Structure 1
């Protein structure tokens, strides 16, 4: 079965973009950030809830999925401005085909080093658990798409192993931090999907967030595992086109690029399959720190992550200052594993 191309919409305002999406009959996705309401208080921009009225404009679309908007939230606001309960209220307000769990992306622009990548994996695990519990309370758990995060292929496996998800056939797992990832290499997109194909149970599918269209011929051999990909890359092409020609970036221009981009991706699904690379070296594991203070820092991070994952700490509570205080106690007490 061919990989489904999901078109990421920049907004749900009535106009050329929505009209074109309806006419093409393509599955679509919207980010929670695009449905946010903001206000200024004391000179600061604050999140103030959801613009639920715009969801009425989704009528006539073939389908609509919801993404939590984690990368935008981190890059613009340095954190997710809405709580699990607030996000799940949004998920329950419309019959989305699928809605993604909250997650913490691991792109280099957000996670500066290996320790932060591991921190964000732990937060993603906890956020998934919280979303699943709330979804069950709301009666919408059947439409929740868990999301796994990581930098190395083995990171995604660790995240997957910790999720409270029944891996039955038909389950769809969202794969995050894909849109800025190279195609090849030990941390490349192909290496991640290939590794997941090796470890996922039969019948469990994946959705790739922000996967580049030129990857499709390389993923042909994984069509049994990848059910869908989404992207809003046409928006970048529309901005470049408008700047080059010195014209406004109107919704009509964006709609034209959206249609051309979608048709191009659909055509790429019929291109001859290209050979997948063999899986390369995986995560070498945690580094050994001979210096006692570095060992204490590493152990403090490990203990804090474990507490986040089992629910003893909130997934947004960890700070660098707290890690150092925790490490200081380990260092003074000589409490090394």
Structure 2
């Protein structure tokens, strides 16, 4: 079974990009942010709901998947502007083939240290549970796509363990924080996929969000484990082309690059599968013995456990709250030492 190439669409405006996607008969993906309405009347971006009427333009596409726009939400707005209920109002407005869970990406520009990565894995686990429950309530469980997050390969295993209920044969699971990741190396795209291939049950397949097209010959080595990839890399190529030629980056130009990029991916799929050299897993960073840092780590671990268990919401963790929680633990440690 060949890896499916999914076109990431920048919008659903009627025009050259959408017309080209229809003619190419390729499955497509749209980000929730691309369907958002924003207002700057107050001097800053304020989310005002969804542009649902645009979904009518998706008619004629081979299929359309929905992505929660986790990276964009974190990078531009510091978090999701929409709730789980808001997101599923969008999910029910069109017969999307797959509806990806909300998730918390772990790219370096978003998660600056190891503790933040672990925090975001726990928040991803809880967000998946909330989205799964809503999907079940709305009769969308068969279209719901869980999403894994992490920085190192072992992080994705930790996330998969938290989502054990979704790791069933026939399920397509999204793998996030991949679009800025190198192909090779101990934390590279291939290393993550190889680790998941070893630990996931047979029949669980992967959708790699934002995978570099150059990775396709290596991904072929995993047989049927990898179901699909998506990308909007053609948009970057169009921007560079427009800059080089000193012309406007029109949708017509982007559409040409869309078709060129897709043809290149099919050429890569025809290349022989490539096998990466054995990968040595990176060492887990050692924990500090400083009492205050230990208290911070314990506070984070306790809050993560409460988020994953459902006792706290996935968006309730703040630095101030962590420090207050740690201060209580720290005082308890001092009291015990003095006793």
TM-score, normalised relative to structure 1: 0.97
Deviates more, 1:303-312 or 1:38-47: 38-47
Within 2, Cα distance between the matches of 1:99 and 1:275? 31
Q: Where in structure 2 are the equivalents of 1:52-63 lying within 5 Å?
A: 52-63=52-63
Within 2, Cα distance between the matches of 1:158 and 1:272? 32
Are 1:17 and 2:17 an aligned pair?
yes
Aligned residue in 1 for 2:238: 238
SS in 1 for 2:230: strand
Are 1:289 and 2:288 an aligned pair?
yes
Aligned residue in 2 for 1:103: 103
Deviates more, 1:273-282 or 1:35-44: 273-282
Aligned residue in 2 for 1:47: 47
Within 2, Cα distance between the matches of 1:305 and 1:226? 30
Aligned residue in 2 for 1:185: 185
Q: Does the aligned pair in 2 maintain the 1:153–1:192 contact within 8 Å?
A: yes
Aligned residue in 1 for 2:124: 124
Aligned residue in 1 for 2:197: 197
Within 1, Cα distance between the matches of 2:191 and 2:229? 16
Are 1:256 and 2:289 an aligned pair?
no
Aligned residue in 1 for 2:324: 325
Q: CA RMSD in A?
A: 1.2
SS in 2 for 1:6: strand
SS in 2 for 1:330: helix
Q: Unaligned regions of 5+ residues in structure 2, if any?
A: none
Q: Does the aligned pair in 1 maintain the 2:146–2:166 contact within 8 Å?
A: no
Q: Does the aligned pair in 1 maintain the 2:66–2:99 contact within 8 Å?
A: yes
Shift of 1:54: 0.2
Within 1, Cα distance between the matches of 2:55 and 2:189? 32
Q: Does the aligned pair in 1 maintain the 2:160–2:167 contact within 8 Å?
A: no
Shift of 1:282: 4.4
Number of aligned positions between the proteins: 335
Shift of 1:264: 0.4
Within 2, Cα distance between the matches of 1:18 and 1:140? 26
Shift of 1:311: 1.1
Shift of 1:166: 3.9
Shift of 1:219: 1.2
Shift of 1:93: 1.1
